[in-house]
């Protein structure tokens, strides 16, 4: 069975973090032996060297090349000479070349060559065997494209990432697992892409941007016998990682001309945060972005498009391992104060009939469910006839939708009785209620009729449904309480429907 690239990427990411943190010990020779042991998880041929030379307190490894490969892609990093110098105080300094090449090749003949360079690089390792800490610093760390070859064609481009004022600290503990706690920061990250499309009539891609105030912390736990050939089994063996990062702000511009179409504009946003936790036990993900602004002009559009968003957020939580107890799950979406420029509004509302207030969509549910299978076990996923979860409760924690003068809000909660699978077959019997409130809905429908987007007769059915399931609480204000009681009756505002 072929597993997803996302899972392999997660596994490789956690392993690389742990591998980096393992690059240290109390003597230079022991540091180097530990490097080799950690690189070996990528295969027997993952490392090659030209030679080793021990002179006093300094061990020099010459012509060090590291290879990462899977069935589709091979990555080679030629680190050149690396020295491990004992400092006389129990610490080891690791010195590397100021720049070194790297390449990526796939099975279809594509080869991409890069150069990695660094200024002001320092790596100091301290601690005891099995409990190591290292401090990495660099004034700049640059990842730059050299050239791209596909078949018989090779072209160059100016494409680079530059990390400025890089700081990171790793603390590693080795027992029955390798645990790495890490934190790091960058003052800024610069991005530049300037590509002239080869054999074209002046086509190009230009992108530049800057991220400021990048901070990250997290933890990786990796099995000592981690097997890169069987990454999906690593989570069952205890692989896990947790990452939290924040970026103060971002701003960028772009200009693209391809196939006769041009697209140009700018984008910026304020603070961005990401919290992610992934293990065999469960997964959680929470990303939030503030003050997004995008401006776009295109040859296919008669006018510029401007989009603003005060807040964007997506979060979810889900258990992954089989359990005898119900566990928490959740899902939420936040789109707060979405705005469009008047030129876009005028496309469908030239008469300014609709209110042009910022639009908002917020939705959040949570609950309890008992996992019945191991979601990361391929055999369970393929061969199990059971439902993956036994639902115990679901709550509508937030419903908030407002657009064009209309608004809908709601909250509610239901519990589920899995001993009764007949009353609402094939689902377990629910009990609870949800309350939905609306305002401005009739006004919005009237405006849509006035604009000619909907015929009045087409709204008869929706208005009748609102009359059946909702009651008036004021001027163009409605409320509906949908309830399922202990007897299995379905009621709307106290009137029995089932």
pLDDT in tens, 166-184: 999 988 888 888 888 999 9
Q: Which sign does the torsion angle of CA 467, 470, 472, 478 carry?
A: negative
Q: Which residue has the higher pLDDT, 139 or 45?
A: 139
Q: What percentage of residues in the chain have a pLDDT greater than 70?
A: 92
Q: How large is the average pLDDT for residues 231-253?
A: 89
Average model confidence (pLDDT) across the chain: 88
pLDDT greater than 70 at residue 275:
yes
Residue 64 pLDDT greater than 90, yes or no: yes
Contact 265, 297 (CB under 8 A): yes
Calculate mean pLDDT across residues 389-397.
95
Q: What is the pLDDT of residue 7?
A: 46
| pLDDT at 202 (0 to 100) | 84
pLDDT of residue 177: 86
pLDDT at 214 over 60: yes
Nearest 5°: phi and psi at 377? -95, 110
pTM of the model: 0.84
pLDDT tier at 402, thresholds 50, 70, 90 = very high
d(CA 71, CA 4): 13
State yes or no: pLDDT of 414 exceeds 50. yes
- pLDDT tens string 426-479: 889 999 999 999 999 999 999 999 998 899 999 998 888 888 888 999 999 999
Predicted confidence at residue 231, as pLDDT, reads 65
Distance CA(173)–CA(467), nearest Å, equals 65
Check pLDDT > 70 for residue 76: yes
What does the pLDDT read at residue 39? 77
Most trustworthy range by pLDDT among 36-40, 47-51, 158-162, 178-182 = 158-162
pLDDT at 8: 47
At residue 99, the pLDDT reads: 96
- Identify which of 493, 429, 485, 438 has the alpha carbon closest to the alpha carbon of residue 462: 438
Q: Are 115 and 144 in contact (CB under 8 A)?
A: yes
Given this model, what pLDDT does residue 90 score? 87
Give the model's confidence band at 385: pLDDT under 50 very low, under 70 low, under 90 confident, else very high.
Answer: low
Pairing state between β 51-55 and 47-48:
unpaired
Q: Closest Cα to residue 226, out of 218, 215, 234, 216?
A: 234
Q: Is 306 exposed, middle or buried (0-12, 13-18, 19+ CB in 10 A)?
A: middle
- pLDDT for 11 equals 46
CA distance 10 to 137: 25
**Which pLDDT belongs to residue 1?**
39
pLDDT given at position 5: 42
**Residue 126: its pLDDT value, please?**
85
Q: Does residue 422 register a pLDDT over 60?
A: yes
pLDDT at residue 117 is higher than 60: yes
Q: Give the pLDDT mean for 398-415.
A: 97
């Amino acid at each position: 069975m072929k597993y997803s690239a996302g899972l392999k990427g997660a596994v490789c990411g956690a392993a690389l973090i742990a591998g980096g943190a393992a690059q240290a010990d109390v003597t230079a020779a022991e540091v180097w032996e530990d490097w080799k042991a950690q690189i070996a998880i990528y295969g027997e041929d993952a490392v090659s060297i030209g030679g080793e030379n021990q002179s006093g307190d300094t061990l020099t490894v010459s012509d060090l090349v590291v290879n990462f490969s899977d069935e589709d892609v091979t990555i080679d990093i030629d680190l050149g000479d690396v020295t491990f110098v004992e400092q006389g105080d129990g610490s080891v300094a690791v010195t590397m070349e100021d720049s070194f090449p790297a390449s990526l090749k796939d099975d279809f003949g594509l080869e991409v060559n890069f150069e990695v360079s660094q200024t002001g690089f320092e790596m100091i390792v301290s601690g005891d065997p099995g409990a190591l800490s290292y401090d990495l610093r660099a004034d700049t760390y640059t990842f730059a494209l050299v050239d791209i070859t596909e078949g018989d064609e090779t072209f160059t481009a100016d494409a680079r990432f530059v990390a400025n004022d890089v700081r990171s600290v790793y603390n590693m503990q080795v027992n029955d697992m390798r645990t790495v706690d890490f934190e790091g920061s960058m003052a800024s990250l610069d991005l530049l892409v300037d590509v002239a499309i080869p054999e074209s009539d002046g086509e190009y891609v230009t992108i530049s941007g800057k991220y400021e105030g990048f901070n990250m912390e997290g933890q990786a736990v990796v099995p000592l016998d981690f097997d890169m050939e069987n990454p999906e089994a690593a989570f069952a063996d205890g692989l896990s990682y947790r990452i939290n990062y924040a970026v103060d702000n971002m701003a960028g511009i772009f200009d693209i001309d391809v196939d006769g179409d041009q697209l140009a504009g700018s984008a910026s946003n304020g603070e961005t945060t990401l919290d992610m936790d992934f293990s065999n036990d469960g997964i959680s993900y929470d990303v939030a972005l503030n003050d997004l602004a995008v401006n776009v002009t295109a040859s296919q559009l008669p006018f510029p498009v401007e989009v603003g968003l005060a807040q964007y957020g997506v979060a979810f939580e889900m258990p992954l391992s089989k359990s005898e107890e119900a566990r928490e799950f959740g899902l939420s979406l936040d789109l707060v104060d979405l705005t469009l420029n008047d030129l876009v509004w005028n496309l469908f509302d030239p008469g300014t009939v609709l209110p042009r207030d910022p639009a908002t969509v917020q939705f959040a549910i949570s609950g309890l469910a008992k996992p019945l299978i191991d979601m990361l076990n391929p055999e369970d996923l393929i061969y199990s006839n059971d439902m993956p979860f036994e639902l115990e409760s679901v709550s509508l924690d937030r419903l908030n939708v407002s657009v064009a003068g209309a608004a809908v809000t709601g909250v509610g909660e239901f519990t589920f009785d899995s001993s009764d699978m007949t009353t609402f077959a094939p689902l377990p019997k629910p009990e609870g209620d949800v309350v939905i409130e609306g305002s401005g809905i009739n006004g919005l429908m009237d405006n849509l009729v006035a604009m000619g987007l909907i015929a009045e007769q087409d709204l008869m059915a929706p208005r009748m449904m609102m009359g059946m399931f909702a009651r008036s609480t004021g001027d163009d204000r409605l409320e509906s309480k949908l309830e399922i009681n202990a007897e299995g009756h379905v009621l709307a505002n106290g009137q029995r429907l089932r």
